[in-house]
Amino acid sequence: MAARLFGLKAVIVVPFGNSREKNCSMQAQGVELIEHGSDFQESLEFAWALADERGFAMVDSFHERLVMGTATYALEFFKETPPPLDVVFIPIGLGSSVCGAAAARNALGLGTRIVGVVAAASPFYARSFAQRSVVEAPATTRIADGLACRIPNRAALEEIWANVSRIIEVSENEIASAMRAYYQDTHNVAEGAAAAALAAAIQESANLKGKRVGIVLTGGNVDASVFAECGFLRKRISIPERSRS
């Protein structure tokens, strides 16, 4: 949308199997949408090559401006939740959100602990965090495509090592359960990657009693078919046997 408003051509590269509804929304804004690769990493590498070939500016998922943008939501979040939060759970895709939050926390001089969250089926940042080195890992998550990366961004990793207390892995079932909780309890639609933070907080609930906890919900880009797979549709239309007469 920003490119359209400024009269600039925008090309977006997505992997095959990307959210159909998200693809349609991007095309409606007038972008040239290119499908390439089986996962995020292949799309990213192709996008870099394509930008070089066409002489375009490349905006990747850890671009400085994106990190600055995420820092603005984090700044508002931390300032508007007095007294200071004890801990905040943040999902990690390529790292812009967690690094922006760390920058805001540090700027405000807060002692809030930041806990990163990844899908257990895409544990690249969790393994890299534990081993203190860049570790590639398979990205097989189906429900949390926003977390489906294989290789960490080195610059993001340096910031994560310096600012994040630990990283939690959540399963596909835990993510789906958190998506249901968001919808049923608050009527917010959360994509899998966005629900991961709540899934981690639920996993850690026994250790959070008496603490002020922040949970980041980063988006609602989920196809209706995926949403239904999480159990919503089945539960809403099921009819008890005794009522059918």
pLDDT of residue 230: 83
Whether residues 84 and 103 fall in one domain: yes
The helix, strand and coil proportions of the chain, stated in percent and rounded to the nearest 5, come to 50, 10, 40
How much is the average pLDDT of 91-111?
96
- Distance, in Å, from the CA atom of 48 to the CA atom of 160, rounded to the nearest integer, reads 24
Whether residues 35 and 98 fall in one domain: no
Reported as a single tens digit per residue, the pLDDT across 1-58 is: 999 999 999 999 999 989 899 999 999 999 999 999 988 889 999 999 999 999 999 9
Least Cα distance to 31 among 2, 10, 58 occurs for 10
Whether residues 41 and 111 fall in one domain: no
Whether residues 162 and 87 fall in one domain: yes
Whether residues 135 and 38 fall in one domain: no
Query: Is position 69 within any domain?
Result: yes
Question: Taking 90 as the threshold, does the pLDDT of residue 170 lie above it?
Answer: yes
Whether residues 88 and 120 fall in one domain: yes
Range of the domain at 32: 2-54
pLDDT of residue 226: 87
pLDDT of residue 142: 86
Instruction: Tell me which amino acid residue 226 is.
Output: V
pLDDT of residue 82: 81
Query: Is position 59 within any domain?
Result: no
pLDDT of residue 238: 39
Query: Is position 221 within any domain?
Result: yes
Query: Is position 224 within any domain?
Result: yes
Q: Could you say which of 54, 73, 90 is where a domain stops?
A: 54
Whether residues 70 and 45 fall in one domain: no
Query: Is position 152 within any domain?
Result: yes
Reported as a single tens digit per residue, the pLDDT across 203-226 is: 999 999 999 999 999 899 899 888
Q: Give, to the nearest 10 degrees, the angle between helix 96-108 and helix 64-79.
A: 50
Answering whether pTM is above 0.95, one says no
CATH number at residue 22: 3.40.50.1100
Query: Is position 241 within any domain?
Result: no
Least Cα distance to 221 among 15, 25, 10 occurs for 25
The partner residues of 117 in beta bridges, in order of sequence, read 91, 168
Per-chain mean pLDDT for the chain: 91
pLDDT of residue 242: 42
Whether residues 129 and 203 fall in one domain: yes
Residue 33, H or E segment: strand 32-35
Domain count across the chain: 2
Whether residues 105 and 174 fall in one domain: yes
Query: Is position 245 within any domain?
Result: no
How much is the average pLDDT of 144-166?
95
pLDDT of residue 232: 60
Whether residues 95 and 127 fall in one domain: yes
Least Cα distance to 53 among 11, 1, 97, 103 occurs for 11
Whether residues 104 and 17 fall in one domain: no
Whether residues 105 and 168 fall in one domain: yes
Query: Is position 243 within any domain?
Result: no
Reported as a single tens digit per residue, the pLDDT across 17-33 is: 898 999 999 999 999 99
